[in-house]
A and B are shown apart, each in its own frame.
Chain A
Amino acid sequence: ETGVTQTPRHLVMGMTNKKSLKCEQHLGHNAMYWYKQSAKKPLELMFVYSLEERVENNSVPSRFSPECPNSSHLFLHLHTLQPEDSALYLCASSQGTLYRSTDTQYFGPGTRLTVL
């Protein structure tokens, strides 16, 4: 596979369930990102990982737990979600230099999450 892939593409879960979203990048990048896209709202940055280390957490509730085991994989673990967490969750990756990065972010196709 090429680019950035995400699984599953669709997920329906109850508020008491535990599930995980998976992202994999095949671009050799060293940074990965989770975004939330809700209707009528701009994309919201959730988490940023650089070289497997979390460098940003944008005040995201603890019911969302990211994991980056290596530079190619990123997970978002979900537990006890609320209906307002229903959204499209997008993963992205980018390649930056050690000292400066404004490089382009490449996105996966997203996971459409519905919380009942």
Chain B
Amino acid sequence: AQTVTQSQPEMSVQEAETVTLSCTYDTSESDYYLFWYKQPPSRQMILVIRQEAYKQQNATENRFSVNFQKAAKSFSLKISDSQLGDAAMYFCASSTPNYGGATNKLIFGTGTLLAVQP
């Protein structure tokens, strides 16, 4: 079974600084996707960034980038130039492909609550 582990329940960063959130996963699949979602106090789960396991290049999305270490099964999120609006719960998730259907199964970690200090 797939598992996703986020070992940092809470993190804090100063505005304009850089922070890294950790995530490890375990899967027997060779084909999978990894995601970081953000859930602010408004509760809307928002996609931050996505990484395909077969791609060696780390995904980037503006101030957000990942460090994908496939052999170590590690998938950390780096937030550069942190802003007050980045304060939220961040969830790491992995996706198992579904061959023969239009659905996929997302497995979530327990989340890291990020506080941004002005």
A complexed with B: yes
For the complex, give the distance between the alpha carbons of A88 and B105 in Å.
19
With contacts A102-B32, A109-B43 taken as known, whether A43 is within 8 angstroms of B91 at the C-beta atoms is yes
For the complex, give the distance between the alpha carbons of A98 and B91 in Å.
28
Interface centre among B33, B91, B103, B104 (most CB of A within 10 A): B103
Residue pair B103, A100 in contact (C-beta under 8 Å): no
* Cβ-based interface call for B118 (8 A): no
What residues of chain A lie closer than 8 Å to B75, measured between beta carbons? none
Q: How far is the CB of B21 from chain A (nearest CB, A)?
A: 16
Chain B residue total in the interface (Cβ 8 A): 32
Interface string of A71-110 (1 = CB under 8 A from B): 0000000000000000010101011111111111111111
What residues of chain B lie closer than 8 Å to A95, measured between beta carbons? 102
For the complex, give the distance between the alpha carbons of A51 and B64 in Å.
34
Residue pair B101, A55 in contact (C-beta under 8 Å): yes
Q: How far is the CB of A5 from chain B (nearest CB, A)?
A: 11
Residue pair A102, B101 in contact (C-beta under 8 Å): no
Residue pair A104, B101 in contact (C-beta under 8 Å): no
* Cβ-based interface call for A30 (8 A): yes
Chain A residue total in the interface (Cβ 8 A): 35
Interface residues of B in 69-99 (CB under 8 A from A): 91, 95-99
Residue from A31, A40, A42, A110 in contact with B103 in the complex, judged by beta carbons closer than 8 Å: A31
Residue from A43, A55, A103, A107 in contact with B44 in the complex, judged by beta carbons closer than 8 Å: A107
Residue pair B44, A96 in contact (C-beta under 8 Å): no
Residue pair A88, B102 in contact (C-beta under 8 Å): no
Interface string of B103-115 (1 = CB under 8 A from A): 1111111110000
* Cβ-based interface call for B17 (8 A): no
What residues of chain A lie closer than 8 Å to B104, measured between beta carbons? 31, 94, 96, 101-103, 105
* Cβ-based interface call for A68 (8 A): no
- Specify the chain B residue showing the minimal Cβ separation from A44: B108
Residue pair A106, B102 in contact (C-beta under 8 Å): no
- Specify the chain B residue showing the minimal Cβ separation from A103: B104
State the A residues within 8 Å of B (CB).
30-31, 33, 40-43, 45, 48-51, 55-56, 88, 90, 92, 94-110, 112
